[in-house]
Amino acid sequence: MEYRLLALDIDGTLTNGKKEITPKTRQVLIEAQEKGLRLVLASGRPVPGIMPLAEQLELAKYGGFVLAFNGGVIIDCSTGKPIYQDLLDTSVYPHLYEKGNSGDFRILSYLDGHIACEDIDNEYVRYEAMLNRMPLRKLRSFLEEIDFPEPKCLIVGNPEKLVVLEQELADYYKGRMSIYRSEPFFLEVLPPGIDKAKRLEFLLGHLGIERSELMACGDGFNDLSMIRYAGLGIAMANAQEVVKEAADYITLSNEEDGVAAAVERFVTTP
């Protein structure tokens, strides 16, 4: 089977534990693009947290895409412009703030290229900033300063307690918002119907590429839909067990150039 599009999660997939693309993985992906494979960096990260990696992989040159906020925004790297965008209704912010900024939880969003939160010393808030290599901005009042439609809010906190909040919010907003964890300690809050698979379906239609020609590679809960949807779904060796169970193939870990190994096996090998 000839694969024409490869969707890659970033954290735990494309990047290693240092949040870097290794030279080997970069070389393999550049060579694959030279042979006609197009790349999509599909992540829960905001756009500024993805673009430096897109630049390293020369996506603008090879016609690649950035699928940010788990699909809330799709950027055509060749033009730098969005081809799709979906935003939260600001009317939900007060309730989200009430639930997501109490006890062990903190709610954050994105403002002028910053990770914006009232508590910038929280370990999970700082981890989100480190992941995206974005600066932190301390908010005086979340509700006063985040008063515009955003592609995503993120609630962070203790994983065991976050499981309970995830179910509560998923039930409360059923059909009105997408609620799921991208990491055990990250709870994504997105507009309804947002997930990687649905936005990849949109992108395939935009490009005239068949579902069977799509490869997708990931490790986390928010990668499940695209791994199930793709013609070839690949899980990292370090993936969550449920992701491995859904995959067609399990590659090496993100510390072992697992993405490069999968591309060499399914794309670049004659």
Q: CA-based angle 141:145:147, to the nearest 5?
A: 120
**Among 9, 11, 219, 257, which one carries the catalytic annotation?**
9
Give me 91's structure tokens. 């009317």
The type of residue at 212 is S
- Check if 9 is active-site: yes
Q: How many CB atoms are located within 10 Å of the residue 102 CB?
A: 12
Q: Indicate the DSSP class of residue 45.
A: S
Long-range (24+ apart) CB contacts under 8 A made by 221-225 are 221/180, 221/181, 221/182, 221/183, 222/9, 222/44, 222/70, 222/180, 222/181, 222/182, 222/188, 222/195, 222/196, 223/9, 223/13, 223/42, 223/196, 225/195, 225/196, 225/197, 225/198
> Would you please indicate which residues are annotated as catalytic (active-site) residues?
9
